[in-house]
């Protein structure tokens, strides 16, 4: 598919979510995000304040995960965490849905959970992680609809910490469900330019990956006629 370098970099959330991530690695992440002009860095709450300071004056956003990686926190805890990371400088929130509740059809509970974060985010975009490897097509559809109704801005495939990450067919189904104007973020296992382009072609408008630099370097190599 045809895409410019700027379009691609503006779709990438450059991610560092490992529990053993160091401050040195965080500084490297933020430096790369500014150098390559990625849309955002996606980090754990403990790194939000420092990321915000490192990125000060740039156009790179700070995205924090909430209720990560299992989504099993109470909705009050997720709301508090959301308020705290925004106070520290987060501009976007990636929250994990209550997967078990979704699977059991407890839609009101799922809705309230998402709404609590959306409300706490005070207008900052919220991306709802469905963890698609744990749910079937019907549950993906229902999770997407609940996310839209709850006032989120994106649905997202995966945390990257479950049994599998983003799949093209899931991204396609999510896009079909939410329509053309709602955000879809593919994340988990996106390691190559080919992976990234497949997800975008399927309907992703944002990509979460720790292989961001390698993907753009591959793009640049292709543009120069490299093999």
Our answer to whether residue 78 is catalytic in this structure is no
- Based on the residue annotation, tell me whether 156 is a catalytic residue of this protein: yes
Element (H, E) at 52: helix 48-54
Residues contacting residue 161 through CB under 8 Å, at least 6 positions apart = 17, 69
CA distance 47 to 120: 19
**Contact predicate 175/184, CB 8 Å:** yes
Catalytic residue among 13, 78, 94, 170: 94
The tokens 């993907």 sit on which residue?
215
Bond before 69 cis per omega within 30 degrees: yes
Catalytic one of 39, 78, 185, 198: 185
Among residues 156, 167, 195, 198, the one annotated as catalytic is: 156
Q: Which of 97, 5, 91 has the alpha carbon at shortest distance from 43?
A: 91
CA distance 113 to 126: 12
Tell me whether residue 39 is one of the annotated catalytic residues: no
Q: 122: which residues sit within 8 A by CB, 6+ positions away?
A: 86
> Tokens representing 208?
């979460």
Catalytic residues: 94, 156, 185
């Amino acid at each position: 598919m045809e895409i410019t370098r700027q379009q691609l970099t503006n779709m990438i959330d450059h991610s560092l979510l490992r529990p053993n991530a160091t401050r040195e690695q965080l500084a490297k992440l933020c430096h790369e995000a500014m150098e390559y002009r990625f849309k955002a860095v996606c980090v754990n709450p403990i790194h939000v304040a420092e990321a915000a300071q490192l990125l000060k004056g740039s156009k790179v956003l700070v995205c924090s995960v909430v209720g990560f990686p299992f989504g099993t926190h109470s909705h009050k805890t997720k709301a508090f965490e959301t308020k705290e990371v925004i106070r520290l400088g987060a501009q976007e929130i990636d929250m994990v849905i209550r997967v078990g509740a979704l699977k059991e059809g407890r839609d009101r509970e799922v809705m309230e959970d998402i709404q609590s974060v959306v409300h706490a985010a005070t207008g900052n975009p919220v991306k709802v992680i469905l963890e698609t490897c744990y749910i079937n097509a019907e549950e993906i559809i229902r999770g997407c609809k609940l996310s839209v109704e709850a006032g989120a801005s994106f649905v997202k495939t995966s945390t990257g910490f479950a049994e599998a990450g983003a799949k093209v067919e899931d991204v396609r189904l999510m896009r079909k469900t939410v329509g053309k104007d709602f955000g879809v973020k593919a994340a988990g296992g996106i390691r190559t330019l080919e992976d990234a382009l497949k997800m975008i072609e399927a309907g992703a408008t944002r990509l979460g990956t720790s292989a961001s630099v390698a993907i753009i370097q591959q793009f640049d190599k292709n543009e120069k006629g490299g093999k």
